[in-house]
């Protein structure tokens, strides 16, 4: 797979809700922290404003615009940013796939999209590799998304058999297309993981790391993949990615290790060897530095989380939830 597919695969995004919002009149809604959630939406009609915590200024959304919030930060949607915000809980009941929420009777603004639940103790690190907001606004960019958006709107309104599943697949397409377009139409001097992946020089080096994370990578070898000198490659990599090449190698290995600890029964010794470590102690030291816990602590924590989630699902089933 390619690096973007690798990261999304580790996040395991599940489109838990594909729905719509139909708003009318004056309105302003504040959405809370979207813990381990990615939001992906498209404006079908009308316009509004979007403000994301930690991002300067508000984005003006118009018909055809798409936006993705890959980091799960709190955000606000409003017809007028001068209006006092109301909590989303006043309008949005427990999520139901295919639902269309009406605000003030609707009629002026309609948006469709999906939210993705992501999993794993490493989700925060992975989501941090993505930009806080992706805003697709030009007509040429929107054309790549228009079919998915139009089809999702039809599915949400028609309520045909299988509509929920079709909407989930369409949402995945929207998410990947939006992330691609965010990079492809960037000004060319942007920093961030996605821009590094798509860079003509850095991209091949990052792809090589992902293709063979257990390889004994050196700065010289990675610079060779980028067709750059070691010093120029190291500087460009740090400026774009926010970390040195060898720091990135270690971080990616630890993210893979975290996924294996959560989703396999492989012992730590096997995982460390599969990622190029001859010493389990050296692997454990690196893992704790990156992931904030030893491999065994991380594995036990993951097991407890899965057990609690399983009990919760059983309880919901028993009570009809």
Q: How is the chain split into domains, by residue range?
A: 3-184, 199-301
**Distances from the Cα of 260 to the Cαs of 8, 154, 199, 272, 301, in angstroms?**
15, 39, 29, 10, 13
138 half-sphere exposure, CB direction, 13 A CA radius: 7
Which long-range contacts (C-beta less than 8 Å, at least 24 apart) are formed by 249-255?
A: 249/209, 249/213, 249/217, 250/286, 250/290, 251/125, 251/290, 252/209, 252/210, 252/213, 253/213, 253/214, 253/286, 254/286, 254/287, 254/290, 254/291, 255/10, 255/122, 255/125, 255/126, 255/290
List b or e across 70-99, with b for residues whose CB sees 16 or more CB atoms inside 10 angstroms: bbbbebbbbbebeeeeeebeeebeeeebbb
118: exposed, middle or buried (Cβ count in 10 Å: 0-12, 13-18, 19+): buried
**Distances from the Cα of 88 to the Cαs of 3, 20, 32, 39, in angstroms?**
35, 14, 8, 15
Q: Which CATH superfamily is domain 199-301 in?
A: Homeodomain-like (1.10.10.60)
Nearest CA among 283, 271, 298 for reference residue 121: 298
230: exposed, middle or buried (Cβ count in 10 Å: 0-12, 13-18, 19+): middle
Amino acid 316: pLDDT? 42
H or E, element range at 74: none
66: exposed, middle or buried (Cβ count in 10 Å: 0-12, 13-18, 19+): buried
Cα 150–chain centre separation: 22
Amino acid 84: pLDDT? 95
**Distances from the Cα of 11 to the Cαs of 1, 112, 125, 152, 293, in angstroms?**
14, 23, 10, 23, 19
> What is the C-alpha radius of gyration for the chain, rounded to an integer number of angstroms?
21
Residue ranges in the chain whose pLDDT is less than 70: 15-18, 93-98, 120-121, 144, 149, 153, 156-157, 184-190, 302-321
Contact 158, 82 (CB under 8 A): no
Cα 255–chain centre separation: 15
Question: Cα separation of 151 and 130, whole Å?
Answer: 26
Amino acid 29: pLDDT? 93
CATH of the domain spanning 3-184: 2.60.120.280
Contact 242, 125 (CB under 8 A): no
Whether pTM exceeds 0.95: no
Question: HEC string of 147-161?
Answer: HHHHHHHHHHHHCCC
Task: Classify 42 as helix, strand or coil.
Answer: strand
Amino acid 153: pLDDT? 67
Amino acid 90: pLDDT? 86
Question: Cα separation of 209 and 249, whole Å?
Answer: 7
Amino acid 117: pLDDT? 78
H or E, element range at 73: none
């Amino acid at each position: 797979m390619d690096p973007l597919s690798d990261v999304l695969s580790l996040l395991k995004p599940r489109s838990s809700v594909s729905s719509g919002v139909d708003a009318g009149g004056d309105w302003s809604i504040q959405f809370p922290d979207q813990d381990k959630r990615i939001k992906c939406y498209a404006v079908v009609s009308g316009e509004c404003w979007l403000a994301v915590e930690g991002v300067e200024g508000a984005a003006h959304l118009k018909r055809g615009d798409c936006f993705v919030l890959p980091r799960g930060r709190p955000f606000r949607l409003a017809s007028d940013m001068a209006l006092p915000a109301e909590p989303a809980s006043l309008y949005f009941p427990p999520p139901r796939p295919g639902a269309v929420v009406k605000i003030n009777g609707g009629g002026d603004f309609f948006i469709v999209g999906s939210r993705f639940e992501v999993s794993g103790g490493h989700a925060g690190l992975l989501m941090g590799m993505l930009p806080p907001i992706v805003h697709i606004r030009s007509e040429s960019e929107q054309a790549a998304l228009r079919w998915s958006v139009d089809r999702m709107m039809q599915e949400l309104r028609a309520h045909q058999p299988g509509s929920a599943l079709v909407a989930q697949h369409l949402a995945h397409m929207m998410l990947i297309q939006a992330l691609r377009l965010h990079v492809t139409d960037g000004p060319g001097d942007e920093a961030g993981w996605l821009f590094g992946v798509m860079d003509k020089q850095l991209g091949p080096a990052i792809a090589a790391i992902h293709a063979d994370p257990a390889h004994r990578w050196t700065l010289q070898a990675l610079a060779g993949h980028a067709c750059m000198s070691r010093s120029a490659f190291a500087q460009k990599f740090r400026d774009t990615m926010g970390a040195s090449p060898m720091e990135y190698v270690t971080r990616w290995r630890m993210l893979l290790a975290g996924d294996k600890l959560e989703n396999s029964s492989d012992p730590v010794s096997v995982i460390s060897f599969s990622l190029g470590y001859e010493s389990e102690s050296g692997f454990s030291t690196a893992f704790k530095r990156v992931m904030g816990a030893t491999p065994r602590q991380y594995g036990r924590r993951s097991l407890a989380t899965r057990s609690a989630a399983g009990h919760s699902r059983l309880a919901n089933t028993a009570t009809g939830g």
